[in-house]
């Protein structure tokens, strides 16, 4: 969005209705982040509303050091995570997976990836995403769907950039393992390694 | 195992073109030479491509109206609160203000032995609506040092006096509390708190603070009615 700073200046001067331009521009993006974290559409809409309202109330504190969208994402992320924490009785959402162990990536590659088409994989991913931790869904959403860079993600999540990379990889691998565990058979390797098309790609 | 672990991380960087030239070449060499890594690479690529091209869920309906209503509503609320506060201050100030035209101050010197002195005020006509009388008695001693005592007549005691005023247009001071010491002269200051006749502009002026106060008290009803609507 062009002239965001100018727009903010005008809003702060009293032209409050101009804030609707920000809402129109970013509400879909904020919604998709919120819904990926809370997994509930109605709650996500409430969170979008709260995000914009909070952003408006604190607009004067936005210094313009980052993109306005990044600042909005940060508000939305914090609100969504707080909502999930409240629902989960303030349990920690970090680090540990459902079975209580850190994820251990298996060495073998499931044949599921070679035996089904992309559309099916997309459906599996949708299902698998629901089983991820909220922060894992958020980090995948921010990086792999919204294409935010590592700096921006670090700012949204409030963590160092190095941590962003490691968490991102853990989240992706966790999702992959969930899909393999839920939908695939393990250990049945199919020999695709000599396919011509694979070689061409390289 | 260590190489493989790094390899798994590098797959995403390779797909996203985040690797340097040398790292990229090394990565390509690895997957060409190692069938297991190659297989893992293709599996990851398929997974990751599907993940990246997922459809972003769109908001079912815009929150624009709701957010803006809240923002604007807050401004209105703030304005009405400020207005209400200012109005309250004005009303309180009004209530403390005397009606300037209705104060009559008359002074008369009365011998201390006069218990039933009669005093005819110059503007007795406006005394029709007298509600209270306060009498302040100043006592002067021989050394010309002022002492003071205060006496006010309660309304119930005033009623007979009011009747007298109405009929005769006179103020009868029938009770003066002075000093125990013998005095020749005391100075009597009579302060009539007089209220206006309730007609025309005066009536409006008389009731205005009460009208405003009443409106202020019932104003939350309008607020709630509007909210419900």
Q: Domain check: are B116 and B175 in the same one?
A: yes
Q: Is the pLDDT of residue A22 over 90?
A: yes
Q: Domain check: are B114 and B93 in the same one?
A: no
ipTM above 0.90? no
In terms of pLDDT, which residue wins out, A149 or A108? A149
Q: What is residue A188's DSSP assignment?
A: -
Share of chain B above pLDDT 90, in %: 2
- Whether residue B187 lies inside any domain: the answer is yes
Domain coverage including residue B40: 2-52
A53: chain B residues, CB-CB within 8 Å: 67, 70-71
Arch. (CATH architecture) of A112-190: Orthogonal Bundle (1.10)
Do A6 and B32 form a contact (C-beta atoms < 8 A)? no
Choose which CATH entry (3.20.20.140, 1.10.1740.10, 3.30.460.80, 3.40.720.10) describes domain A4-87: 1.10.1740.10
Q: pLDDT averaged over chain A?
A: 81
pTM of the model: 0.59
- Whether residue B60 lies inside any domain: the answer is no
Contact B42 A114 (CB under 8 A): yes
Q: What is residue B182's DSSP assignment?
A: -
Contact A145 B64 (CB under 8 A): no
Q: What is residue A3's DSSP assignment?
A: T
Q: Check residue B31 and give its pLDDT.
A: 87
- Separation between Cα atoms, residue A62 and residue A56, nearest integer Å: 10
Q: Domain check: are B131 and B151 in the same one?
A: yes
* B positions 37-96 inside 8 Å of A (CB): 38-40, 42-44, 46-54, 56-64, 66-68, 70-72, 75
- Separation between Cα atoms, residue A166 and residue A174, nearest integer Å: 12
* B positions 150-189 inside 8 Å of A (CB): none
Contact A56 B71 (CB under 8 A): yes
Count the Cβ atoms, other than its own, within 10 Å of residue A24: 12
Average of pLDDT values for B178-195? 48
Average of pLDDT values for A107-120? 75
Q: Choose the closest CB to B8 out of A125, A126, A173.
A: A173
Q: Check residue B164 and give its pLDDT.
A: 52
Q: Check residue B71 and give its pLDDT.
A: 86
Dihedral sign of CA atoms B22, B27, B28, B30 in order: positive
Average of pLDDT values for B108-122? 48
Q: Domain check: are B77 and B147 in the same one?
A: no
């Amino acid at each position: 969005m062009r002239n965001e700073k100018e727009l903010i200046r005008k809003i702060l001067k009293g032209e409050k209705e101009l804030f609707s331009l920000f809402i129109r521009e970013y509400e879909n993006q904020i919604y998709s982040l919120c819904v990926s974290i809370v997994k509930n559409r109605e709650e996500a809409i409430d969170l979008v509303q709260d995000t914009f309202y909070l952003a408006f109330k604190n607009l004067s504190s936005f210094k313009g050091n980052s993109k306005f969208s990044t600042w909005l994402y940060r508000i939305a992320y914090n609100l969504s995570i707080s909502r999930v924490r409240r629902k989960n009785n303030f349990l920690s959402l970090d680090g540990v997976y459902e079975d209580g162990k850190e994820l251990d990536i298996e060495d073998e590659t499931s044949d599921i990836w070679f035996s089904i088409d992309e559309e099916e994989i997309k459906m599996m991913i949708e299902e698998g995403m629901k089983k991820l931790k909220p922060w894992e869904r958020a980090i995948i959403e921010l990086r792999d769907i919204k294409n935010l860079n590592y700096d921006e993600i670090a700012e949204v999540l409030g963590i160092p950039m190095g941590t962003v990379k490691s968490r991102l990889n853990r989240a992706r691998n966790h999702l992959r393992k969930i899909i393999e565990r839920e939908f695939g058979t393990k250990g049945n390797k199919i020999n695709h390694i000599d396919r011509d098309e694979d070689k061409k790609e390289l | 195992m260590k190489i493989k672990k790094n390899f798994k991380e590098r797959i995403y960087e390779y797909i996203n073109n985040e690797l340097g030239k040398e790292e990229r070449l090394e990565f390509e060499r690895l997957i060409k030479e190692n069938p297991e890594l190659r297989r893992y690479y293709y599996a990851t690529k398929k997974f990751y491509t599907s993940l990246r091209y997922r459809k972003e869920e769109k908001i079912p309906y815009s929150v624009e109206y709701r957010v803006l209503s809240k923002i604007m509503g807050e401004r209105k609320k703030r304005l009405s609160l400020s207005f209400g506060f200012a109005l309250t201050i004005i009303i309180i100030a009004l209530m403390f203000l005397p009606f300037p035209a209705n104060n009559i101050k008359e002074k008369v010197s009365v011998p201390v032995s006069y218990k039933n002195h009669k005093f005819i005020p110059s503007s007795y006509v406006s005394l029709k609506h007298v509600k209270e009388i306060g009498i302040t008695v100043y006592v002067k001693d021989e050394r010309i040092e002022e002492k003071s005592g205060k006496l006010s007549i309660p309304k119930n005691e005033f009623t007979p006096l009011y009747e007298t005023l109405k009929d005769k247009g006179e103020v009868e001071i029938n009770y003066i509390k002075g000093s125990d010491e013998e005095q020749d002269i005391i100075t009597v200051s009579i302060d009539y708190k007089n209220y206006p006749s309730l007609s025309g502009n005066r009536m409006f002026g008389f009731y205005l603070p009460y009208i405003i106060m009443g409106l202020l008290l019932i104003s939350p009803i309008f607020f709630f009615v509007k909210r419900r609507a």
